[in-house]
Structure 1
Amino acid sequence: MTQTDYTTLIDEETWAFIRKTGEAYPEDMDGMTFEDMRRCYDAMCDAFSAPYPPGVTVADKAMGGVHCRVYEAGPSDVTVMYYHGGGWILGGLESHDHICAEICGSTDYRVVSVDYRLAPEHRHPAAFDDCLAATQATFARHGGRLVLCGDSAGANLGAAVAHRLRGTPVMPSGQVLIYGSFSTKIGSEGSYATHAEAPMLKRSELLVYRVFRYAEGYDPADDPTAAPLADTDFSGLPPTFLIAAECDPLADDSAIYAARISEAGGRAHSEVAPGLVHGFLRARHMSHRAAEAFARITDAIAALGRGEFPWPETR
């Protein structure tokens, strides 16, 4: 595989973020249980936390029988459903708490963060089922416009929910998908090759996540609830904004997914955040590049919540 030299591609602010991330994990991770891994991951995410924006309130509620956290900055007819990342095995309400609060504060929209079940205790389709149920219940409770948003594994889940909701009364007004995984397999070409050894996320780690996510022998090749690019019909999907990190084996997935939507007559815009790595949402307060990317994300959420699509054709 062709490897990439990250010494100049990644700037010092982002390297500082990478180093700080690594400090949350022990040098020797052999023998760690999933509980240990989850505690480390949540502690790492908490190390990048920031105060809630003024005026944002929070309450934990059940939506469709799924534990959720609801952020509000006042009355709103727009709800953002947020599906967190973590490879389907890590993360929850705490890991992305400050991110959701800032999305709420930046847009004044209601944000509902979904605490879906994690693998390997709950393998696919448990996470998808929870995200779908929470989304349908949230719409039943609040109505109005619905924007789906997620990062990494959460972007996968958001897109899968959008595919399932086509043609129903719960059709979202848009989706914002951040460094997502949409493919049916972990390939060996394109970004899977050039960024196989990227800081923060390696191709080998993606293969491990698949082992824990699926039951033994399961193949997602024909299941768009597991891999949205497995779908054969990309028509009727909501307007979609995608952003990928340049230094990420998943970088090509976003452009491919956007192209499928555009080819089917839909509206999709995909862009790459230069020099950034997987997980850059957590770097938004220590990296100018990450701050600019986060502003692009919140601007996209705000626009889709207004029913606007202010981007050119997918490039």
Structure 2
Amino acid sequence: MVGSLESHDDVCAELCLATDAAVVAVDYRLAPEHRHPAQLDDVATVFAAVARAFATVAVAGDSAGATLVAGLCVRLARQGKPKPAGAVLIYPWLGGELDWPSYIDNAEAPMLRTSDLSFYAEARYGGSVPAGPLDEAMPLEATDFGIFPPSFVVTADVDPLRDDGSVFAARLTEAGVPATCRNEAQLVHGFLRARHRSARARVAFEAIGAALRDLLGARQT
């Protein structure tokens, strides 16, 4: 619903410096003017073009962007297409249950409250049920977690979505997919914005850059 190429331009530029890789940001359509799956359609279109141009491609996103990264992997598997080299999901929203501890303990967390998620879901779907395959909108609904690429998942401890990331990483591990979940103590949803003011956020951002380098390997794109 919010954000733009401009809002994340500095993040993308710094990831480019950290990885020595080309970084492509997707200017996907926003809700509520454009409902799901418009955003995922845009991401899939851009990924297909990038995959044709580069031999090795990793995907990364934060918050709703992380939702789209995971949804893209589900769609690629459904279409029988190759998965990305790796994925980085930063405080992702993946369709967790409202009775999970993080949704309860962090119900009134700064930056994102549990009640906000219902508002965003209504805006994104235009109702309570997403159009199209449920697992493309809520990747935790996937029946086979072996479809996902090696992943680095970052969560904020003071965030209703904390458990989405940890559960997702655990299911990847159970499916035999290399996955790491890094939970950032005392940080809130959206902490990337504070990476130049908070030592904790800065260290987390450095870890994200290192993870992307590892996922891309010697052939960085």
TM over 0.5: yes
* Contact kept? 1:221, 1:227, Cα under 8 Å: no
Give the aligned residue type for 1:215. G
Q: What are the Cα deviations for residues 79-120 of structure 1, in whole angstroms up to 9, with x where unaligned?
A: xxxxxxxxxx11110110000000001111000000001111
TM-score using structure 1 length = 0.66
The equivalent of 1:94 in structure 2 is: 6
TM-score using structure 2 length = 0.93
Q: Hey, what's the Cα distance between the residues in 1 that align with 2:154 and 2:43?
A: 21
* Structure 1: runs of 5 or more not aligned: 1-88, 309-315
Percent sequence identity is: 45
Q: What pairs up with 1:263-282 in 2 under 5 angstroms? A: 263-282=174-193
Higher RCO, 1 or 2 (CA under 8 Å, sep at least 6)? 2
One of 36, 39, 48 as aligned partner of 1:127:
39
Q: Hey, what's the Cα distance between the residues in 1 that align with 2:98 and 2:32?
A: 23
Matched positions, count: 218
One of 113, 119, 127 as aligned partner of 1:202:
113
One of 143, 164, 184 as aligned partner of 2:54:
143
* Structure 2: runs of 5 or more not aligned: none
Asked if 1:254 is matched to 2:165, the reply is yes
Name the larger-Rg structure: 1
Q: Hey, what's the Cα distance between the residues in 2 that align with 1:252 and 1:186?
A: 9
More strand by share: 1
| CA-atom RMSD in angstroms | 1.8
Q: What pairs up with 1:1-315 in 2 under 5 angstroms? A: 89-140=1-52, 142-166=53-77, 168-183=80-95, 187-219=98-130, 223-306=134-217
Select between 102-111 and 159-168 the one with higher mean Cα deviation: 159-168
Change (3 A) 1:161 1:219: closer
Q: Hey, what's the Cα distance between the residues in 1 that align with 2:128 and 2:148?
A: 30
Give the aligned residue type for 1:136. A
Give the aligned residue type for 1:151. D
More helix by share: 2
What's the offset of the Cα at 1:219? 4.6
